[in-house]
Structure 1
Amino acid sequence: MKNLTSWDANPVQAFEKFVTTLDFAKTGRRLRADGTVKLVSTESAKTYMFMFANVATWIAGQGKTFSTVTPRDLVRFVQRVDGGKPVLNSKIGYRYLRLLERCYEHLGVVPNPAKQAILATDRKDLPKDSPGRALSPEQLQRFFDALPADPPRRRRVTAFDGWKRRRDRAMQVVMALAGLRVSEAIGLLVHEVGNQVALDGSIDLTITPAEKHDTSHEHIAPLPREGVAELRPWLDERARMVNEKTMVGDFVFPANVDGEKMTKKTVYKQIRATFERAGLDTARAGGRTLRNTFAKGQLDNGARPDELKGVLGLALERSAADYKLTRIKDDPK
């Protein structure tokens, strides 16, 4: 067994030194056509470093170190839930365990905690991947037609009355047309919205992990012209509210005038209400359906898995390819 001192003292630093080496490549058993070992690409190394940092942070939060964490601890990591829903699906959970297995294999740790965790779950106990649903183009238009409406002007006391409806309308359009997760939408910051308009009328949303879920990867999500047309009026109204000191904070879609973050539960309720107004099946009325719809649209328009990986902020190209294999179908009318 190799010395684990550096891995316990600073596991992220130790892993970053390891991931680009031939030793790491050997643990992956990926060979070129000529039989030589294939080193991981720079992009893949970044993904692995993000994943390792994520699990290392969790391990430290449990009061454990890389050498003292147990198979049972690692099973708990991949079986975590957030708001009653699994944080990691079965494929991603397995990839985390496999990554750790490679590290322990390199270090000569026997028995290998990550391998034991894989054997203990046999993947059957990991959260299952639920079949995906996507809206057809006609259903998506019905969804847009049913978005929250502005209250009648005669009922307004101030110019900003009903601002939450306009916030919800813009947010749901952005989620549907830019493929954002709910956590990315509620954590979207004003400075992440691009000011430069492309020739096709789109703008870039720079999605960073800041204020979002820890699985969000930094990426650029283009928002098409139709989305910009909905987002800009809300941003202008929000800016006026800030200037008049009736709102504070940096969130694009704040929960209240105090600038607090919206909850996932609130967003789910708002999206479900839009589905109901549109007369669509509400069994899968959530942000995932909107994201699936965006992904399916990208693939139908000829996007490659590596391109979809970029715009969705996925960790691995294989994750993007899964969208093509997922049982995506139209919701019943």
Structure 2
Amino acid sequence: MHALASWNADPVRAFKEFVSTTAFAETGRRLRADGTMRALSAESAKIYVFMFANVASWILEQGLTFSTVTQADLVRFIDRTVKGKRVLNSKIAYRYLRLLERCYEHLEVAPNPAQQAILGIDRAHMTKDEAGRTLSEDQLERFFAALPAEAPRRRNSTPFDGWKRRRDRAMQVVIALAGLRVSEAIGLLIPEVGRQVSIDGSIMLTITPDEKHDTSHEHTITLPREGVDELRPWLQERETMAIPGQFVFPANLTGARMTRKTVYVQMRATFERAGMDLSRSGGRTLRNTFAKRQLDNGASADELKDVLGLALERSAADYQLTRVKPDPTN
């Protein structure tokens, strides 16, 4: 009872003390081949603490304590929505409940509310709720190699023939190397492209909500030299063609806005030329790949939130939680 009282008084502190113990490892039942417990990595511990802090904050907001939370309360937590969309997909929700189940198991709370909530999850639906896929470095190179190529010159061709291929090529490179949503790419405006080139050849993109999806938040992101080498020639060609408007990647010569469907079709074609039959061969796969590369380079959830233009750090933490391995079948 004394232990449970400390979890009620300061649940985050109690969990931090718990997560570093062998007792936590035992609840996970993760054994090596020789029967000894697997040590919890510092990165995993950090993610677990972040997850638990999310739950603890929500429990406090509801006027509850760790010991008074019920199965129904936990179901409400995982079923939360923002603008009609669930905050947690079912796989992430399951991981939250599994973490809480381990805590209540350690405290010998019966019945275990998290365990009861897990039993109520539609597991059939959960298996269909795949985490975002990513590309390996080799697959990403194959994607770049399969980008729209210059069309063969015809006898009566003009210098601007095939401009849409060059537009699509530049757009897909920017999406992949800057981690943009498709809505952010088609809504990218010329004033948002930095003019100053850094020593390493990169430039800054300032993404604003203007002309974009309402979930886009203003943020800046570095476009590396490889992306600049594709984007700048396209911008020069666009200027020479005197296409009106401010869209970096216009749909036509009148400067209209591209549609998501058009981008999806062109991107799908690139994946097919690369010989990759991914079920999510689109902008989300490229954005996930960008996020994974950021994490592999040591970015924290807060830093990832900033470069992806996310409103909440917990959204960035979802990328840490999935950390999906590249699709091995392609």
After TM superposition, the score normalised by the length of structure 2 is 0.63
Question: For 1:259 and 1:78, how far apart are their aligned partners in 2?
Answer: 31
**Amino acid in the other structure paired with 1:205:** L
Alignment partner, residue 295 of structure 1: 291
User: For 1:32 and 1:324, how far apart are their aligned partners in 2?
Assistant: 20
The reply on whether 1:154 has 2:151 as its aligned counterpart is no
The superposition leaves residues 169-207 of structure 1 with CA deviations (integer Å, 9 ceiling, x where unpaired) of 000000000000000000000000000111221101100
**Aligned in 2, Cα 1:241/1:316: closer, same or farther, shift over 3 Å?**
same
Query: How much has 1:316 moved relative to structure 2?
Result: 1.1
State the match for 1:234 in structure 2. 234
Structure number with greater Rg is 2
Seen in structure 2, the aligned counterparts of structure 1 residues 31 and 199 have a Cα distance that, compared at 3 Å, is farther
Structure-1 separation of matches of 2:237 and 2:244: 13
What's the RMSD between the two structures over aligned residues? 3.2
Matches within 5 A, 1:119-134: 130-134=130-134
Alignment-derived partner of residue 16 in structure 2: none
- Distance in 2, matches of 1:32 and 1:77, equals 25
Distance 1:252 1:123 in 2: 45
Q: Does structure 1 residue 144 correspond to structure 2 residue 141?
A: no
Aligned length: 229
| Superposed displacement of residue 31, structure 1 | 9.3
The residue number in structure 2 matching 1:208 is 208
3-state SS, counterpart of residue 237 of structure 1: helix
1:268 matched to 2:268: no
Q: Deviation per CA, 1:238-258, whole angstroms, max 9, x where unpaired?
A: 01011xxxx211100011111
The 8 Å contact of residues 306 and 320 in structure 1, kept in 2 or not, is answered as: yes
8 A Cα contact 1:90 1:123, kept in partner = no
Contact 1:306 1:317 in 2 (8 A): yes
Question: How far has the Cα of 1:321 moved from its partner?
Answer: 1.5
CA distance in structure 1 between the aligned counterparts of 2:174 and 2:302, rounded to whole angstroms: 22
What's the secondary structure of 1:315's corresponding residue? coil
2-structure distance, mates of 1:311, 1:282: 25
Contact 2:292 2:323 (8 Å CA) reproduced: no
Partner of 1:224: 224
Q: Give SS of 1:235's match.
A: helix
Q: Is the 8 A contact 1:272 1:282 kept in 2?
A: no
1:312 aligned partner: 308
Which residue of 2 is the match for residue 322 of structure 1? Answer: 318
Which sits farther off after the overlay, 304-313 or 149-158?
Answer: 149-158
Aligned partner of 1:90 among 75, 87, 90? 87
Structure 1 residue 329 displacement after superposition: 2.5
Q: Secondary structure at the match of 2:206?
A: strand
One-letter identity of the residue aligned with 1:209: P
Shift of 1:89: 4.2
Mapped partners of 2:192, 2:134: distance in 1: 27
SS of structure 2 residue aligned to 1:259: coil
1:130 CA displacement: 3.9
The residue aligned with 1:17 is none
Residues 211-268 of structure 1: per-residue CA shift (max 9 Å, x gap):
00000000001100100001010000001011xxxx2111000111111111111111
Could you tell me how far apart the structure 2 residues matched to 1:185 and 1:30 are?
Answer: 44
Kindly indicate whether the alpha-carbon contact (under 8 Å) linking 2:132 and 2:288 is maintained by their aligned counterparts in 1: yes
Q: Which amino acid aligns with 2:311?
A: A
- Structure-2 change in CA distance of 1:318 and 1:76 (3 Å): closer
Cα deviation code 1:3-62 (max 9, x no counterpart): xxxxxxxxxxxxxxxxxxxxxxxxxx99997xxxxxxxxxxxxxxxxxxxxxxxxxxxxx
What code does the residue aligned with 1:256 have? N
The letter of the residue matching 1:135 is L
Query: Matches of 1:259 and 1:91 in 2, distance apart?
Result: 38
In the aligned structure 1, how far is the partner of 2:162 from the partner of 2:12? 60
Return structure 1 stretches of 4+ with deviation > 3 angstroms: 29-33, 75-79, 126-130
Gaps of 5+ in 1: 1-28, 34-74, 80-87, 93-121
Q: In the superposition, relative to structure 1, how do residues 166 and 89 fare at CA in structure 2: closer, same or farther (>3 Å)?
A: farther
The CA deviation at 1:123 is 9.8
